[in-house]
Amino acid sequence: MTTPTIVLVGHGMVGQRFLEALADRDLTSRARVIVLCEEPRPAYDRVQLTSYFSGTTPEGLSLVEAGFMEKHGIELHLGDPAVTIDREARTVTARSGLTVAYDTLVLATGSYPFVPPVPGKDAAGCFVYRTVEDLLAIEEYAMTSRTGAVVGGGLLGLEAAGALKGLGLTTHIVEFNPRLMSLQVDEGGGAALRRTVEDMGLIVHTGVGTQEIVTGPDGSVTGMSLSDGSALDADLVVFSAGVRPRDQLARECGLPVGERGGIVVDERCRTADEAVYAIGECALASDGRVYGLVAPGYQMAEVAANAIAGEAGTFDGADLSTKLKLLGVDVASFGDAHGATPGCLDVLYSDSRSGVYKKLVVSPEGVLLGGILVGDADSYGTLRPLTGSVPPVSPGQLVLPAGSGAPVALGVSSLPDEAVICSCHNVTKGTILAAITEHSCTTVPEVRKCTKAGTGCGSCVKVLGQLLPPAADQGLCGCFAFTRAELYEIVRALRITTYAELLDHHGRDTARGGDGCEICKPVVASVIASLAPAVGASGHILDGEQAALQDTNDHFLANLQKNGSYSIVPRIPGGEITPEKLIVIGEVARDFGLYTKITGGQRIDMFGARVEQLPMIWTRLVDAGFESGHAYGKSLRTVKSCVGQSWCRYGVQDSVRMAIDLELRYRGLRSPHKLKSAVSGCARECAEAQSKDFGVIATASGWNLYVGGNGGATPRHADLLAQDLSDAELVRLIDRFLMFYIRTADRLERTSTWLERVDGGLGHIRDVVVHDSLGICDELEALMAAHIANYRDEWADTLNDPERLRRFVSFVNAPDVPDPSVKFVPERDQVKPDLRLLAGPVLPVRTLSLEGTAGS
């Protein structure tokens, strides 16, 4: 028996979903599967394409799990699109000349960007916004551009405009319709969206068309002329005026196509040729529509796989609901959003000051027909599944904002089990609950893996989290039933200054009167230190009870190394240092025999100091003007910088000055985890700001602020929080962000993990930090101001306190005896630990026994 061959033409999001559907039905083991892909890379998340400009790599956008093709025996030909189809011979020929015979052919060729037929459209500097390669080309061209224009104010148009602005270009949006996103929002929603977009510094032109792309003598773009007679200066133009089905292959091989494009298919996604299927944006469905959203495409992929496997299933239309975040603004529409149903009524809420617009469309009987949400789409996940039913609360309550006094009782618990939570994969609430109860899914990633919910457009992820049961015990440890964030609020509100007081009054019954544990001691120490000015506590971590709570590194204001020695890390703000201070570091390292290394954080580390040498070394460094670099603390480490506009020919702002200002402002700030930052003087990002907890990138108009980045074992690119900020705006937002993080993060939680864990994610952080949605920003700024006003260098204070200095000994009962186990061997003209002596664990402070051996 001959093995049948399935050929897939196109490997986008829908094409990959089709391959997964084949694998789910075990068809990949019973058929040869060949994929002809035009692009040079496997399928990637085109919905999240713009995230490339905020740091997501092309590889990070991939939708293909490692080893998927090999596991299922799928033959993938990248960069080799199909060019002809011979239906009579049942063969497909690729651009390379490869000819493949098929038993079943599936067309998933997607769509192509529509470029208006205006003079100059092919000039150098004109681009479309569709693929990773398009974005790479735009990014490169933008390096020598100053002003950009986007033709089209729809979904992709706004994303393209945000990308150009993020690249530092003055950006115009030209939209022929009278409002932005005319397909998704009505006049009121468009007005709210426009106000918000213009507040971000983008220049919007609606109700006008592009007449001509003006070019210079070298043939490159210099401007645009518009239909109202006006003109724009621009040296980069992005066309994002809609898409058209890619049906050329079907046309050329004689398959029927629609009058306005699209390969005609039936309810089984089969064309007029029973051996050929079409799915996704290239297909004209049996209801006469071409669907340009990913969810209908995924449904078509499932239906086609069913048909090939001989299983039931039809495509009879799809939900056109969408929820997106464009330029940081939530925009959603669902159901009969424009009120086309006869006799329907509108329920409206509009707040032009905050850019929020909500409209629900209901029938006279109260049935929810659809809606539009701009600026606040948190309720989308529960409203959309209720479409077609009478909600359990009045429509007026559904549009009023939280805190307005309206008793809104609508939540995910009110949805029936048959409500579709994930429209991309048609996953119901009942299926998700079954995954939680029957498959023991306890986290959103586990639910996503088990059900595929949340793996499409992602708009349902928040609802998935709401369906999960709360954790049984959120307490920090066995001593406290409170989280770190709750302990922070208790310490702040009650002005608690000692760990003992907190444990006695707020510990668990079994812990009160005890000594606590190694989990909560350093956590509470950090909380009290970060709140010291506000609650009246001593700010020094080596004072009184505080000293006993610290871990080894904080205990000695230095990082313990593997052979029992310590590191010396003076602060060098921005990496800027004078020759005199360099000489001092060199002399100290030479005189004490320390290993020296220039780090990636633009500092000079010195290693190999014995504990009793630390005060002597720091005396010389403090006298030379150095202070603690806090390399040992859960606090700010460094603010890295490039050389900026002072030296670099690409620099647009003084990144060195800003880095120094920020490092000196936040030095010594105790937090749940270490903090790293960087400032880049232009979009070329030499300081790697997008891998930091908070990073700053200069633009021609100011600064862009990114938050939640992380290097290390689980790297994460930071997210854009705000754009084109002045110096004062930038500092104010960082103040708020850091204090909100310190206030609400869990123990040892980096900003990257915290941002992903917080309900609402980046949107919620932006609401709180930028828009002051909780009304706490004055308080956050006051806490930061108190920290700055009360900052004192920990090492300078320690050197002036004999009691604190008493701890810097190797043996508590023989303070004058150096630790004989700290040995070094030479290497590359310096020293390194003698690894032959490191068989056991490092013990920082020990007792010298009478026999001269080290005891516990």
Quick one: pLDDT at residue 246? 94
Q: pLDDT: is 53 or 49 the higher one?
A: 49
* Cα torsion 335, 341, 344, 347: sign: positive
Q: Where do you find CATH 3.50.50.60 in the chain?
A: 5-112+245-309, 115-241
Whether 347 contacts 400, CB under 8 Å: no
Q: pLDDT: is 315 or 423 the higher one?
A: 315
Confidence of residue 680 (pLDDT cuts 50, 70, 90): very high
Q: Where do you find CATH 3.90.480 in the chain?
A: 557-628+797-856
Confidence of residue 659 (pLDDT cuts 50, 70, 90): very high
Quick one: pLDDT at residue 829? 86
Quick one: pLDDT at residue 579? 93
> H or E stretch including 504?
helix 499-506
* Cα torsion 182, 183, 184, 186: sign: positive
Angle at which helices 727-744 and 484-494 cross, to 10°:
100
* Cα torsion 47, 50, 51, 52: sign: positive
**Closest to 361 measured CA to CA, from 391, 317, 323:** 391
Q: pLDDT: is 725 or 190 the higher one?
A: 725
Reading the block at residue 594, the tokens are 């320390």
Exposure of 424 by Cβ count < 10 A (0-12 exposed, 13-18 middle, 19+ buried)? buried
Angle at which helices 499-506 and 484-494 cross, to 10°:
110
Mean pLDDT of 652-673: 94
Consult the annotation and say whether 517 binds a ligand. Answer: no
> H or E stretch including 75?
strand 75-77
* Cα torsion 9, 11, 17, 23: sign: positive
Whether 677 contacts 638, CB under 8 Å: yes
**What is the rounded distance in angstroms from the CA atom of residue 247 to the CA atom of residue 51?**
29
Angle at which helices 655-666 and 727-744 cross, to 10°:
40
Q: Where do you find CATH 3.30.413.10 in the chain?
A: 633-792
Mean pLDDT of 613-639: 92
Residue labelled with tokens 């800027």: 576
Quick one: pLDDT at residue 399? 79
7-16, 364-373, 443-452, 649-658: segment of lowest average pLDDT? 443-452
Quick one: pLDDT at residue 401? 66
Residue labelled with tokens 């937002």: 733
**What is the rounded distance in angstroms from the CA atom of residue 262 to the CA atom of residue 803?**
82
**The dihedral formed by the CA atoms of 596, 601, 602 and 606, expressed in degrees to the nearest 10:** -20
Listed in sequence order, the DSSP H helices in 628-760 are 655-666, 727-744, 751-757
**What is the rounded distance in angstroms from the CA atom of residue 805 to the CA atom of residue 616?**
11
Task: Identify residue 246 by its one-letter amino acid code.
Answer: R
Phi/psi of residue 618, nearest 5 degrees:
-70, -25
Reading the block at residue 17, the tokens are 């979903």
**What is the rounded distance in angstroms from the CA atom of residue 295 to the CA atom of residue 322?**
9
**What is the rounded distance in angstroms from the CA atom of residue 377 to the CA atom of residue 624?**
55
79-88, 195-204, 513-522, 699-708: segment of lowest average pLDDT? 513-522
* Partners of residue 323 on adjacent β-strands: 332
Consult the annotation and say whether 253 binds a ligand. Answer: no
Show the CA angle centred on residue 140, arms to residues 134 and 141, nearest 5°. Answer: 90
Tell me: the pLDDT tens digits for 310-340?
Answer: 999 899 887 777 776 666 677 888 888 888 8
> H or E stretch including 619?
helix 614-623
* Cα torsion 174, 176, 179, 180: sign: negative
Report yes or no on whether pTM surpasses 0.85. Answer: no
Task: Identify residue 68 by its one-letter amino acid code.
Answer: F
Quick one: pLDDT at residue 560? 81
Whether 354 contacts 388, CB under 8 Å: no
Consult the annotation and say whether 37 binds a ligand. Answer: no
Q: Where do you find CATH 1.10.10.1100 in the chain?
A: 417-469
Task: Identify residue 74 by its one-letter amino acid code.
Answer: I
Whether 769 contacts 763, CB under 8 Å: no
Reading the block at residue 44, the tokens are 């990637």
**What is the rounded distance in angstroms from the CA atom of residue 383 to the CA atom of residue 310?**
36
309-318, 547-556, 745-754: segment of lowest average pLDDT? 547-556
Largest CA distance in the chain: 98
Tell me: the pLDDT tens digits for 122-173?
Answer: 999 999 999 999 999 999 999 899 999 999 988 788 888 988 988 889 999 9
Q: How many CB atoms are closer than 10 A to CB 61?
A: 18
**What is the rounded distance in angstroms from the CA atom of residue 121 to the CA atom of residue 219?**
11
Mean pLDDT of 837-850: 46
Tell me: the pLDDT tens digits for 808-831?
Answer: 887 656 667 777 778 888 888 888
Q: How many CB atoms are closer than 10 A to CB 7?
A: 24
Quick one: pLDDT at residue 162? 86
Quick one: pLDDT at residue 855? 29
**Closest to 519 measured CA to CA, from 747, 842, 743, 753:** 747
Length of the chain: 856
Consult the annotation and say whether 520 binds a ligand. Answer: no
**What is the rounded distance in angstroms from the CA atom of residue 245 to the CA atom of residue 112?**
6
Quick one: pLDDT at residue 853? 32
Quick one: pLDDT at residue 691? 93
Show the CA angle centred on residue 145, arms to residues 142 and 150, nearest 5°. Answer: 70
* DSSP, residue by residue, 378-435: TTHHHHGGGTTS--SS-HHHHHSPTTSS------GGGS-TTSEEETTTTEEHHHHHHH
Mean pLDDT of 620-637: 91
Q: pLDDT: is 265 or 429 the higher one?
A: 265
Residue 540 has pLDDT above 80, yes or no: no
Whether 385 contacts 429, CB under 8 Å: yes
Confidence of residue 409 (pLDDT cuts 50, 70, 90): very low
Tell me the Ramachandran region of residue 758: left when phi exceeds 0, alpha when psi lies from -120 to 50, beta otherwise. beta
Quick one: pLDDT at residue 510? 59
Question: What is the CATH number that goes with domain 557-628+797-856?
Answer: 3.90.480
Q: pLDDT: is 482 or 272 the higher one?
A: 272
Class of domain 5-112+245-309: alpha beta
**Closest to 422 measured CA to CA, from 321, 275, 540:** 321
Q: How many CA atoms lie within 13 A of 691 on its CB side?
A: 15
Tell me the Ramachandran region of residue 719: left when phi exceeds 0, alpha when psi lies from -120 to 50, beta otherwise. beta
63-67, 413-417, 596-600, 656-660: segment of lowest average pLDDT? 413-417
Instruction: Report in angstroms the alpha-carbon separations of 21 from 3, 9, 28, 286, 293.
Output: 19, 16, 9, 21, 18
Tell me the Ramachandran region of residue 627: left when phi exceeds 0, alpha when psi lies from -120 to 50, beta otherwise. beta
**What is the rounded distance in angstroms from the CA atom of residue 743 to the CA atom of residue 736?**
10
**What is the rounded distance in angstroms from the CA atom of residue 810 to the CA atom of residue 855?**
12
Topology of domain 417-469 in CATH is Arc Repressor Mutant, subunit A (1.10.10)
**What is the rounded distance in angstroms from the CA atom of residue 164 to the CA atom of residue 719?**
16
Residues in CB range of 232: below 8 A, 6 or more apart: 147, 149, 172, 174, 205, 223, 224, 226
Mean pLDDT of 611-625: 93
Quick one: pLDDT at residue 638? 93
Residue 850 has pLDDT above 50, yes or no: no
Is 633-792 in CATH node 3.30.413.10? Answer: yes
Topology of domain 115-241 in CATH is FAD/NAD(P)-binding domain (3.50.50)
**Closest to 186 measured CA to CA, from 290, 398, 331:** 331
Residue 37 C-alpha from the chain's centroid: 29
Q: pLDDT: is 516 or 32 the higher one?
A: 32
Reading the block at residue 228, the tokens are 């109202």
Confidence of residue 435 (pLDDT cuts 50, 70, 90): confident
Whether 533 contacts 539, CB under 8 Å: yes
Mean per-residue pLDDT of the chain: 86
